[in-house]
Amino acid sequence: MSVVEWVASACFLLGCALTLVAAIGILRFPDLLARMHAGTKPQVLGLVLSMTGLGLSIGSSQVAWKLILVIVFQFMTAPVSAHMVGRAGYRTGKVREDLLEVDELTEDLERAKADETPG
Amino acid sequence: MAERVRLWTRWPMIVWLAATWVLLWGDLTLANVLAGLVLGALVMVLLPMPRVGFDGRPWLPGIVVLVVRFFVDVIMASVQVAKKALAFGQHPRAAVIRVRLRSHSDLLLTITAQLCSLVPGSIIVEAHRLSGTLYVHVFDVDDAGGIDGARAHALEIERRVIYALATDEEIAEAGLPPRRRLLRRRSQEVSA
């Protein structure tokens, strides 16, 4: 095996391991918001490493550009989707208050609601 | 009647769409570039989007610091979450905190929020545009150095974004030292 193949293999293994860990995290974490952490961080890096491995092992610049696009769009969309899921969960009461040390968003939302209803 | 889209003021968006088109085809030919530009212009006319209104001033050293620190942070974040996912025992204590940002630009708010979601320990749950407030879910309060540590971390990311992209006036408005002084301080540290 050449050096490039070794590096590509290492990228694949690490990337897949991180994706697996993300899946385990989603299974094990106690509530929605903690699960979103697993869905954004190890998952994104896992994808980046897998794409790097793929680019190295194929070694064609035509494909490499597409893989870079995949990574760019993952970086742009993962936080947005995590935010939307978290926000929706928050507003529909899917967040476990007992796991939160401090919850300043609920404080502010309740204050805003109190301001809206007169009296 | 809808506001007419002035194509020549939207050239960065068209260039980006054309670049995406060329990247998807994978090779840089004149035909691809032209087709990308035409399609980009067509998209801008048929699907007009509101202007984000970027009037900042990109600053290369700031951007380099932002990008390098960001990649380090992404790796740290993955390691941290991976450790927690595999660890036995108690789940970490979490929190939702309010972070009032110093800048008032929509774009800086968006970029800060995006980056915060990808770096260790934080996810944006809610963003309030008018007051420039982010509500951040902190994954592990103890790891982040307490509530104040987590808040300081989010503000530090915003500081990097501001130095990378904001105008000098916005930096002054945010109450940060100007870029020139930042450079001088760094060179003093190096020489000392």
Judged by CB atoms closer than 8 Å, whether chains meet at A41 and B74 is answered as yes
With a cut of 80, say whether residue A3 has pLDDT above it: yes
Q: Which residues of A34-46 are buried (b: 16+ CB within 10 A; e: fewer)?
A: bbbbbbbbbbbbb
In angstroms, how far apart are the furthest CA atoms of chain B? Answer: 63
Q: What average pLDDT does this structure show over A10-20?
A: 92
B92 and B159 part of one domain: yes
ipTM score of complex: 0.75
In a domain, B68, yes or no: yes
- Domain count for chain B, please give it: 2
**pLDDT (0 to 100) of residue A119:** 47
The C-alpha of B25 sits at a distance from chain A's nearest C-alpha, in angstroms, of: 8
In a domain, B122, yes or no: yes
| Beta strands per DSSP E along chain B | 94-100, 122-128, 133-138
Going residue by residue through chain B (192 aa), what tens digit of pLDDT does each one get? 445 556 666 777 888 888 888 888 877 788 888 998 999 888 888 887 776 666 677 788 888 888 898 888 888 888 888 888 887 766 777 888 888 888 778 888 888 888 888 877 788 888 887 888 888 888 888 777 778 888 888 888 888 888 888 888 778 877 777 777 766 665 555 554
In a domain, B54, yes or no: no
With a cut of 70, say whether residue A91 has pLDDT above it: yes
Place of tokens 């208050």: A97
Residue of A20, A32, A41, A76 to mutate, testing the B interface (most B Cβ within 10 Å of its Cβ):
A41
In a domain, B96, yes or no: yes
Q: What is the CA radius of gyration of chain A?
A: 20
Domains of chain A: 3-116 (1.10.287)
In a domain, B111, yes or no: yes
In a domain, B70, yes or no: yes
B41 and B69 part of one domain: no
Domain, as residue range, for B173: 60-191
B15 and B87 part of one domain: no
- A27-76 tens-digit pLDDT: 888 888 888 888 888 888 899 999 999 988 888 777 888 888 899 888 88
CB neighbour list of residue A76: distance below 8 Å, 6 or more residues apart: B114
B40 and B72 part of one domain: no
In a domain, B74, yes or no: yes
Single out the residue of A53, A19, A10, A95 nearest to residue B123, CA to CA.
Answer: A95
Residues of chain B contacting residue A66, judged by C-beta atoms under 8 Å apart: 23-24, 26
Instruction: For residue A16, give Cα distances in angstroms to A4, A23, A35.
Output: 18, 11, 18
CA distance B78 to A34: 13
B131 and B183 part of one domain: yes
B82 and B33 part of one domain: no
| Chain pair A-B, CB pairs under 8 angstroms | 134
Which residues in B have their CB inside 8 Å of a CB on A? 20, 23-24, 26-27, 74-75, 77-78, 80-82, 84-86, 91-98, 113-118, 120-121, 123-127, 135, 137, 139, 141, 147
Judged by CB atoms closer than 8 Å, whether chains meet at A42 and B78 is answered as yes
pLDDT confidence bin for A86, thresholds 50/70/90: confident
> Do B150 and B138 touch, CB atoms closer than 8 A?
yes
The C-alpha of A96 sits at a distance from chain B's nearest C-alpha, in angstroms, of: 10
B121 Ramachandran zone, left/alpha/beta (phi>0; psi -120 to 50): left
In a domain, B105, yes or no: yes
